[in-house]
Amino acid sequence: MPAERLHLVRHGEVHNPQRLLYGRLPHYRLSEDGRRMARAAAEYLEGLDRSVTALRCSPLQRTQESAEPFAEIFGVDPVLDERVIEPTNLFEGKRMSRALRDPRNWWKLRRPAVPSWGEPYISIAERMEAALNDVWHETDSGDIVIVSHQAPIWITHLHVAGLRLPHDPRTRRCALSSITSFERVGDVWREVDYAEPAAAGIDLGAV
C-alpha cells in the first residue's frame, strides 16, 4: 500500500523578543507557547487516528523542535531535509517595521513578483515539490509529516492549486502549527484539508 496523506506542518511560535525577521539565522528556538502549539498539532493528528510513518523537517532549530512531539507520539525518527527550509531573504536579521522605512532598502522591493528580496517563488515551489515526491515514493503506508515554514507551505498550496505564485505575504493562510494536508492521485497532488489545532501565537519574524 502506498502512503495515504502528506501533512505540511508549520513550526510553532518562536522566541523572538527583538522581533527580528529571523529567516535562516541559527539559534531561534520555540517559545514555551510554541512547544505547546507543536504538541497540539501532533495530538490533533493522533486524535484523527492517523498513522504517521514518515517524519521530515527543515534543519532549522524551530522546525526540529516542532517535530519532537510527532516523533514521540508516533514513534518515528525525524529526517532533516534541506529542501523544506525557509527561503533566503535580504531583510534577515532586521526589524521589518524599521527596515521598510529606510529608503536604502527600497531597491530590494523593486520586483515583488520574483521576489527581489529573496529566493524566487518558482525555486521554492520546485524544491518543495521534489521533497514531497521523494518522501511519498519512499513511504509504503500511513501518513507523512513534513515540518516546514510559512512561505514554503503557502507556495506549495499555490503551486498545487495552479494559482499564480506571486502574492502579498500578508495574505497567507498558514498559521503557526497549522496543518495543510495533501493526497496524491497518480502524479497529481491535491490539497484535501487545512487545520489550525493550536491557539494563536505571536507570529513575528516570518519571511
pTM for the predicted model, two decimal places: 0.95
In contact, 151 and 58? CB cutoff 8 Å: no
pLDDT at 97: 87
Per-domain residue ranges of the chain: 5-195
Which pLDDT tens digit goes with each residue over 78-122? Answer: 999 999 999 999 999 999 989 999 999 999 999 999 999 999 999
pLDDT of 151 above 90: yes
pLDDT at 52: 98
Q: How far apart are CA 189 and CA 179, in angstroms?
A: 16
Q: Using the Cα atoms of residue 133, residue 136, residue 139 and residue 144 in order, give the sign of their dihedral.
A: positive
Percent of the chain with pLDDT over 90: 91
Query: Which of these CATH numbers, 3.40.50.1240, 1.10.443.10, 3.30.1130.10, 2.40.30.10, describes 5-195?
Result: 3.40.50.1240
* Tally of residues, the chain: 207
CA distances from 53 to 12, 49, 95, 157, 192 (A): 21, 13, 39, 23, 19
